[in-house]
Chain A
Amino acid sequence: MNLRNPLANAHNHGAAGDGVGHWWAQRFSAILLVFLTSWVVYALVSIVGASHAAASAWLAQPVNAAMGILFIVTSIYHGKLGLQVVIEDYVHNRAVEVALQLVVKIAALAGALLAVIAILKLAFGA
């Protein structure tokens, strides 16, 4: 889905090339996270003190596994967008900035992969 103004698309140059897309992505993930975070708080509170068997059985249920994956992927994506802006704003050494951006991207990708694999492993009962 592309929500940019058609003229902006035709010109294809905003302030930084893709600032509007970043802005929209941050808001969309934020709105999604309002609901997902409410679910996670409910989930964590009901899972506190549970044994390994009970906790993994709970997360293995299809709806919980799906919500869990949606939550962790959306939070990591939203967090990556936020950290990106913080680094852009406060790190004025170009080399350090690029290095940090790279670290954030790799960490986000690795974290999302690990979390999704962990949840799928539980969901498929391995």
Chain B
Amino acid sequence: MVTDNRPLSPHIQVYRPQLTSVLSISHRISGIVLNFGTIVVVAWLLALASGPEAYDAMIGVLSSPLALVLLAAWTFALMYHLLNGIRHLFWDAGWLLDLRGAYASGWAVVTLAVVLTAVIWGVAL
């Protein structure tokens, strides 16, 4: 039996993107991104445990413009995944499952993620 070419549902290429579907796939994408962020956190811990030279070299790498952009993206992914994860926990408990709840909580998550990312970088810099 050939199982590689079976039609798959939903056919996302003919669907108009909606807030709910975009946030759903964004939760997965941000989760994947965060795993790469965890690699950086482990590398940072290893540098810290290895001594001042290794740590300063690591901080040098993390202070480059490209690294700062990636760190900002990581912060946003972390805040988004954290807040949308709480939204998912509410859904698991059976709350906010109607259209209004799903959209209102969706916009709240996006707004709060942007605000928290800005606040964190405002305090850190």
Q: Could you show 29 A-B contacts with beta carbons less than 8 Å apart?
A: A30-B85, A30-B88, A33-B85, A52-B48, A52-B51, A52-B52, A52-B55, A52-B56, A55-B55, A56-B49, A56-B55, A68-B45, A72-B38, A79-B31, A79-B34, A82-B28, A82-B31, A82-B35, A83-B31, A83-B32, A86-B31, A115-B41, A115-B42, A115-B45, A118-B42, A118-B49, A119-B45, A121-B49, A122-B49
Given A27-B89, A41-B120, A45-B124, residue A118 in contact with residue B38 (CB < 8 A): no
> What separation, in Å, do the CA atoms of A45 and B122 have in the docked complex?
10
B30 to nearest A CB, angstroms? 10
- Alpha-carbon gap, A76 to B35, bound state (A): 8
- List residues of B whose CB falls within 8 A of some A CB: 3-4, 28, 31-32, 34-35, 38-39, 41-42, 45-46, 48-49, 51-52, 55-56, 78, 82, 85-86, 88-89, 92, 120, 123-124
A10 interfacial contact with B, CB 8 Å: no
Question: Bound state CA distance, A122 and B42, in angstroms?
Answer: 14
A118 touches B48 (CB 8 A): yes
Chain B residue contacts of A41, Cβ below 8 A: 78, 120
Taken together as a complex, chains A and B put the C-alpha atoms of A45 and B56 apart, in Å, by 18
Q: In angstroms, how far is the closest chain A Cβ from the Cβ of B66?
A: 18
Does A1 interact with chain B (Cβ within 8 Å)?
no
* Chain A residues whose CB sits within 8 angstroms of the CB of B45 once the complex forms: 68, 72, 114-115, 118-119
> SS class of chain B's interface: helix, strand, loop or mixed?
helix
Bound form: Cα–Cα A111–B35 in Å: 11
Q: How far is the CA of A31 from the CA of B123 in the complex (A)?
A: 26
Chain A, residues 49-60, CB within 8 Å of chain B (1/0): the string is 001110110010
- Chain A residues at the B interface, C-beta cutoff of 8 Å: 27, 30-31, 33-34, 37, 41, 44-45, 48, 51-53, 55-56, 59, 68, 72, 75-76, 79, 82-83, 86, 92-93, 111, 114-115, 117-119, 121-122
CB neighbours of A52 from chain B (8 A)? 48, 51-52, 55-56
B51: chain A residues at CB < 8 Å are 52
In the bound complex, CA of A9 to CA of B48 (Å): 46
User: Whose C-beta in chain A lies nearest to the C-beta of B51?
Assistant: A52
